[in-house]
Structure 1
Amino acid sequence: MRPTPFSRPTIVAATELLDRHSQAGINRVVIRLGLEAEVSSSSDLSVGKKCALIARAIVLRPDRVLETVDGPMTLGEAVVREAVKLAQPASTDDAHTAFLRGLARDGFVLVPAVGGQNASIRAALPNEIQLPATDDDVHHLLRHFGFITPLGHLDQAIDAHTRGDWAACNAQLRSFLEGLFDDIARLTYPQQAAQLATSDNRRTLLGNEGFLDSGRGEWSIDGKNYVNGLFKMLHTHGSHPGLSNEDHSTFRLHVVLVTAGMYLRRLYRP
């Protein structure tokens, strides 16, 4: 079975939504999640305290497999699906906002309840992309290579997305990708990169030396290639687009994560 398709922030946000349950309701959730050993059913514990214990148990073992009425699934996925039953797409309170943005970052959308049916979720992107795993891989490889500056920009982009600050997220994503290519150039071609003054020059170096694959359209001397096109899109109306929205900011985040993962893995396994 694949790892849970949801990231830690989404799982934590899901457990916070469970706070809307009554004592009886949260106890039923505990049983469905198989967490009786970790979470007492005693009424002496508040619902909020039980939610905190559920969150702790799940973030420690999100990939533990459960047998559910819908078939086997990871504990992380199971708690997200429990939260979906309570989700209200039109709600703007902090708990709902954090949960819906987490789903979006992970490549999922909430489908509102229709005809008495509970709300549900569906993948907005192909399952093969596995965004949470890609994000983890990118963070791991950034630390492996010591790319601390781009790592900081990526973390700030994700934090800005969580807050709903789309312009800041967009700006940090561009800075992250620019810093990533700078650091790759300095690591792979240190002498040449040290003599170059701009990030554009260092990306050209990566293209000329073959790190960027011209045969796949990643680089070309006429500028009509994937990497240049991506930077043009990220730089729409400058680093801080005057009017951005959640959908486009989330799209940028997805594209940048997948792109960064591809080049970091290429660097790791040349």
Structure 2
Amino acid sequence: MSALHNELMTLTDPTLGLLVDIAENLSRASVDNLLLRANLNQYATDRSSRHSMLFTALTAARRRTTVIDGWDCDPDEAQQAHRALLDFTRRLVETRRLDPTQIADISEAVRADGYELVIDADTGRARLLATDPAPVPLPPQITALEAELEARGYHTVSAHYRQAVDNLVHHNYEAANASLRPALEELVVRLAEDHASYTVAAHASQGGAAITYLINNGYLLDADGGLFLRGLWRMLHTNGPHPGQTDADEARFRIVTVTAAARFLLKRFAPRR
């Protein structure tokens, strides 16, 4: 199971750690006020230090958005905790006590979690806007995709894909991109073998060859997914796993796009009865 399973699309642990690191440099009064105004004070069970207050409050709220030991948290409580974490982040940025580097770090972290930090240049007011077109679209799609991959016996595809998702969750953007390429390649090759009599050649890279085979032999038309799949395959070879050549926005876009493409392909090449 990936780290995104059974939870609201809320802030991940690396993002919370960054927020704690930044906020604990504020005064005790400022930390108290931030937790109160964000409705997180109820979770601050350890008040021995600013770090302890922030750590217990943010991690406790985070747990309220997650299934724990098979017990589903109350949906209203989960939404309230989720909104509180976003509100805390927004208010922390609005304190005007952060330097540009800290704000940039927060912006990049929340972008990996599916949010865009927007700051009004005139008022300093901050907003967190969801970057996905629908509420919480990614976790259910990931769950459905992994389940179908496992059901079809595509365990290698599932393993690569799960690594990509987990790396995105932990803000390892280059590693997330690097895991997506073999996931899509293995899926395309397996589908071509199982449904189009494709024979794997001796050379290492098979993704492009399998896609070309499907298109040239009429299994996937250019105007009905063929050109999209070819373009996606080429896109996954740009920037690559090299440090400093990708970011949270790009990594998340690739995850979302490959997820949609994989589900499309599995539907197109349905199991034979």
Instruction: Give the TM-score taking structure 2 as reference length.
Output: 0.65
Match of 1:123 in 2: 130
TM-superposition CA deviations, 1:121-176 (whole Å, max 9, x none): 1233422782343333333333333322222322333455544553x443322222
Match of 2:3 in 1: none
- Deviation of residue 229 (structure 1)? 1.9
**CA distance, structure 1, for counterparts of residue 129 and residue 188 of structure 2:** 33
RMSD of the TM alignment (CA)?
4.2
1:58-207 equivalences in 2 (<5 Å)? 58-60=65-67, 64-65=75-76, 73=79, 75-87=81-93, 90-92=100-102, 97=105, 100-101=107-108, 103-127=110-134, 130-161=137-168, 162-166=170-174, 168-188=175-195, 192-193=197-198, 195-197=199-201, 198-204=206-212, 206-207=214-215
| Cα gap change, 1:111 to 1:184, in 2 (>3 Å) | same
**CA distance, structure 2, for counterparts of residue 159 and residue 252 of structure 1:** 14
Contact 2:58–2:85 under 8 Å retained in 1: no
**CA distance, structure 2, for counterparts of residue 229 and residue 199 of structure 1:** 12
Write out the 4+ residue segments of structure 1 that deviate beyond 6 Å after TM superposition. Answer: none
Task: Name the amino acid aligned to 1:244.
Answer: Q
Q: Report the secondary structure of 1:244's partner residue.
A: coil
| Cα gap change, 1:85 to 1:269, in 2 (>3 Å) | farther
Aligned residue pairs total: 243
1:168-247 equivalences in 2 (<5 Å)? 168-188=175-195, 192-193=197-198, 195-197=199-201, 198-204=206-212, 206-207=214-215, 212=220, 214=221, 216-219=223-226, 225-236=227-238, 244-246=245-247, 247=249
1:250-265 equivalences in 2 (<5 Å)? 250-265=252-267
Contact 1:110–1:122 under 8 Å retained in 2: yes
Task: Name the amino acid aligned to 2:9.
Answer: F
Q: Report the secondary structure of 1:86's partner residue.
A: helix
- Deviation of residue 263 (structure 1)? 2.6
Alignment gaps of 5+ in structure 1: 68-72, 220-224
Do residues 12 (structure 1) and 8 (structure 2) align?
A: no
Alignment gaps of 5+ in structure 2: 1-5
